[in-house]
Amino acid sequence: MNSLAQMKVQLIELENRKKKLETEIQNSTKRYKMGLWAVFIGIFLTPLYGLGFLPLLAGGFAALLYNGRRARFKDELQNLDAEIHKLNISMV
């Protein structure tokens, strides 16, 4: 069994990874929303000027990409929370 000091170090490392994942989720959410805005701008520019196809295509691709990343990061964050919970229980 691990010593208490090793468990505390492991807990600190997990907390740092959790903070990093939370910032990645925030960044992915911002980029996802920007992609959706590009899609909407493309929808409105296409009938007016015929230029909206590029923002529509790029925004749709970015929205799909960052939505997938965000979901993957959220799953990883849940796994980290479970590990932290197990470690906290074993330290008691």
Q: Which CATH number fits domain 4-91: 1.10.3470, 3.40.720, 2.60.120, 1.10.287?
A: 1.10.287
Residue ranges of the domains in the chain? Answer: 4-91
Residue 22 to residue 80: CA distance in whole angstroms: 11
What is the model's pTM? 0.77
Q: How many CB atoms lie within 10 A of CB 84?
A: 16
Residue 71 to residue 65: CA distance in whole angstroms: 10
Residues present in the chain in total: 92
pLDDT tens digits for 7-49?
A: 889 889 999 999 999 999 999 999 999 988 888 888 887 777 7
